[in-house]
Structure formats: C-alpha cells, structure tokens
Amino acid sequence: MAFIGGVKGALNQFRRNKEMSHRYPVTWEEFYRNARALAWKLSGGYTWKGLIAVTRGGLVPSAILAREIGVRKIDTVSIVSYGEDDKQIDPLIIKPCHVEEGGKGWLVVDDLVDTGATAKILRDMLPQAHIAAIYAKPSGKDHVDTFMTEVSQNTWIVFPWEEEI
C-alpha cells in the first residue's frame, strides 16, 4: 500500500515493519522483468478474450501484460482488502466486472496474492477465469493459476509506485 508522508506515514511504516520482518523494495526494472516473464508464461498455448485488472494493485502489471501478450480488451474489478493503515481487512467488492461464461478465456491480473482472500472472491465471481499474480506468498499461491515470483509470508513488498520520491 502507498506510503503516506509525515508522522502518519512514519507510524504506518513502523507498524508494517513490526509485522513484516522482511521489507522487499522492488525496482521498476525488476518489476518490469517479472511482469514480462509472467507474460511469457501466459503466452504459451493461451488465447485470451480479454484481461481483467484487479484495482489498484493489478493496474500496472495489467498494462504491461496486456501489451506483452497483445490483449486490447481490458476491464477492471475493484476489491479492497487493505485499510488505510495498510492492515488487511475483510475484502469488500467496490466494483464487480461482468463477463460472460464465468470468465472463460479471461485473464485476471493482480500484483500480489497474499492470503488468497481476494483471489477466493475472484474465483467465486469468475470461476472459469485464469487468475495470475506477479508475486505470491505461501498462504495465497494455491488460489491463483499462475504466478511469477514467490516471497515469504512475512515479506512486505514495496512496489516502485509506492516509494516516495
């Protein structure tokens, strides 16, 4: 989640660091390399009707994947699973997506599968879709069809768009 500057941001960072013993900052180059590698995995033998980006985390990887695999039809689904203090909350569907055949032939993309809570909702919503994430933690990896890089459960991934400049 985004780092908010000032005292509130410092407190949030402190809370995250206490719970997550490993902070893993990802550079733009590393993220792009992992997204392209995932696209390569997803290109073999698949023809996609379209792509569904899970907002907000899946927006950036979806843009990269859509370009790499040649998909132009893109939709979004918005599921909030983190509160303002970057703590996990009960997932809340803000915006569903509406595709036919239970998502058959559609690729759903997120940046990270953590506990699998969001992926479970996606699977209920789109049982025939292929769910992919760039990063996966052990508790969540069985809830997606494809992922690129596994990290430990106690790792807090800091995406390049979350870093302050």
Query: Any idea which residues carry the catalytic annotation?
Result: 110-111, 114
SS3 143: helix
What lies within 8 Å, CB to CB, of 33 at 6+ separation is none
User: Helices (DSSP H) in the chain: which residue ranges?
Assistant: 6-19, 28-43, 59-69, 117-125
Query: What distance in Å separates the CA atoms of residue 50 and residue 73, rounded to the nearest whole number?
Result: 5
Which residues touch 163 (CB under 8 Å, ≥6 apart)? 3, 25
How far apart CA 158 and CA 15 sit, in angstroms, is 14
Neighbours of 97 (CB within 10 A): 20
